[in-house]
């Protein structure tokens, strides 16, 4: 497959947006403005942008804990500043500042949110896929999961059920080499984690997760299968997180030179050179995209910084759908 120049340019912009978004989040996390733990996806932009690019708004999306990119790209442009505000814990956040970086959902675009317990969304996503089947709609479900997350028992229960019932569910296994400090080869017996799916007779492949064309092509195939009622697919996308596990982790467990060699394979850089060398787009044009994106994200940042904190009443609302919970007296 080759995608069109316009298409490649569009996903290039998407990746630049993720990168910039994460850079800003990183800065304000490191300087203490953003509370809590932040898991950055710098280096993994192609996997996120490529997958989201192939989905329609009514497809169900389950981002993972390193999912800012997928979340931002799933959202409507006018909502993006509220995603950053959420990460800052502000009242204007898309979830009222109540969830923060790890818990951002947006029903409008069927971003179904993340659950801080690894492997949890892997079974929740069965339910949205099931709903498509129950309601006879053609919406597919995509769940993002990490190489480490594959250790959880829920992965088995999910894959077993999805395969048996041929649910329209796509497992996007982002293999960024590590679960915190543990290399995937130390915690799994397979050389290619995609092989795991074979035990369930589920089609799977291991792809270069830094090549956005490959990501798009592979995801499209999986989505087609799912929409035709042929069941789940697992795609292992090989990539790398440039930062530590969370923003601030020195990542001392990485062998020397590993990061640098992966930086060579930067998905944005790769696409940029394709755009320039194959499609003849000028560096100037690409710089313009960069600058526009920076301005855009600067807007999110200013919005977030200027936004108010939630009021304490917000802590006790919606524990239940119908009855209220006492606050402090």
Partner 1 sequence: MNRTITFAKAINEAIHQEMDRDEKVFIIGEDVAKMGGDFGITSGIWKKWPHRAFDTALSESAIIGLSCGAALCGLRPVAELMFADFIGVCYDQIVNNAAKLCYMFEGKASAQIVVRAVTGGGIRCAYHHSQCIEPWLMNIPGLVVVAPATPYEAKGLLVSAIRSNNPVIFLEHKGLYNKKGDVPEELYDLPLYESKVVRKGNDITLVAAMSMVDFALRAAEDLSKEGVSCEIINPLTLFPLDKETIINSVAKTGRLVIIQEGPKFMGYAAEIGSMVYEDIFEYLKAPMKRVTSLDTPMPFSPGLEDYVMPQYADVKKACSEVMSF
**If binding is defined by CB under 8 A, does position 323 make contact with its own copies?**
no
Which of 67, 99, 231, 267 is close enough to bind partner 1 by CB under 8 A?
A: 99
Least separation in angstroms between residue 154's CB and ligand TPP is: 9
Q: Are strands 204-208 and 233-238 parallel, antiparallel or unpaired?
A: parallel
Nearer to its own copies, 158 or 247 (CB): 158
283-306 and 5-30 are packed helices; what angle lies between their axes, rounded to 10 degrees?
40
Helices (H), ranges, the chain: 5-30, 45-54, 68-74, 80-87, 120-134, 153-165, 184-187, 212-227, 258-264, 267-277, 283-306
Task: Single out the residue of 148, 94, 161, 153 nearest to residue 120, CA to CA.
Answer: 153
Number of residues near its own copies (by CB under 8 A): 24
Distance CA 306, CA 314 (A): 19
118 binds, among Mg ion, ligand TPP, its own copies, none (CB under 5 to 8 A by kind): ligand TPP
**If binding is defined by CB under 8 A, does position 180 make contact with partner 1?**
yes
Longest dimension (CA), the chain: 67
244 binds, among ligand TPP, partner 1, its own copies, none (CB under 5 to 8 A by kind): none
294 torsion bin: left (phi>0), alpha (psi -120 to 50), beta (else): alpha
Least separation in angstroms between residue 152's CB and its own copies is: 7
Distance CA 161, CA 82 (A): 36
314 binds, among partner 1, Mg ion, its own copies, none (CB under 5 to 8 A by kind): partner 1
Least separation in angstroms between residue 240's CB and ligand TPP is: 10
Which of 57, 76, 185, 187 is close enough to bind partner 1 by CB under 8 A?
A: 187
For its own copies, the binding residues in 173-212 under the rule CB under 8 A are 186-190, 195-202
**If binding is defined by CB under 8 A, does position 300 make contact with its own copies?**
no
Least separation in angstroms between residue 150's CB and Mg ion is: 9
106 binds, among ligand TPP, Mg ion, its own copies, none (CB under 5 to 8 A by kind): none
Binding residues (CB under 6 A) for ligand TPP: these are: 65-66, 116-119, 146-149, 176, 178-180, 245
Q: How far is CA 318 from CA 99, 143, 310, in A?
A: 13, 26, 14
Which of 13, 120, 220, 290 is close enough to bind partner 1 by CB under 8 A?
A: 120
Q: Are strands 141-146 and 169-175 parallel, antiparallel or unpaired?
A: parallel
Residues lying near its own copies in the complex (CB under 8 A) are found at 150-157, 160, 163-164, 186-190, 195-202
């Amino acid at each position: 497959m080759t995608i069109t120049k316009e298409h490649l340019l569009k996903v290039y912009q998407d990746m630049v947006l993720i990168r910039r978004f994460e850079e800003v989040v990183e800065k304000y996390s490191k300087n203490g403005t953003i509370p809590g733990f932040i898991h950055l996806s710098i280096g993994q932009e192609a996997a996120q942008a490529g997958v989201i690019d192939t989905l329609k708004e009514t497809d169900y999306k389950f981002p993972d804990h390193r999912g800012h990119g997928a979340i931002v790209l799933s959202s409507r442009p006018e909502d993006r500043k509220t995603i950053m505000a959420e990460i800052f814990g502000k009242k204007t956040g898309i979830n009222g500042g109540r969830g923060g970086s790890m818990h951002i959902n947006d029903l409008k675009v069927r971003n179904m949110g993340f659950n801080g317990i690894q492997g949890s969304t892997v079974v929740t996503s069965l339910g949205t896929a099931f709903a498509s089947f129950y309601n006879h709609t053609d919406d597919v479900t995509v769940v993002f999961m990490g190489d480490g997350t594959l250790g959880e028992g829920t992965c088995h229960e999910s894959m077993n059920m999805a395969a048996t019932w041929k649910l329209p569910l796509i497992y996007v296994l982002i293999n960024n080499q590590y679960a915190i400090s543990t290399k995937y080869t130390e915690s799994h017996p397979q050389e290619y984690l995609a092989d795991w799916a074979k035990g369930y007779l589920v089609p799977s492949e291991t792809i270069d997760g830094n090549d956005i064309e490959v990501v798009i092509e592979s995801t499209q195939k999986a989505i087609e299968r799912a929409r035709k009622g042929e069941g789940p697919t697992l795609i292992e996308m090989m990539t790398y997180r440039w930062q530590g596990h969370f923003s601030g982790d020195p990542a001392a467990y990485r062998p020397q030179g590993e990061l640098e060699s992966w930086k060579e394979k930067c998905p944005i850089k790769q696409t940029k050179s394709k755009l320039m060398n194959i499609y003849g787009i000028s560096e100037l044009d690409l710089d313009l995209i960069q600058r526009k994106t920076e301005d855009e994200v600067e807007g999110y940042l200013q919005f977030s910084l200027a936004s108010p904190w939630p009021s304490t009443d917000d802590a006790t609302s919606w524990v239940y759908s119908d009855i209220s919970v006492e606050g402090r007296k």
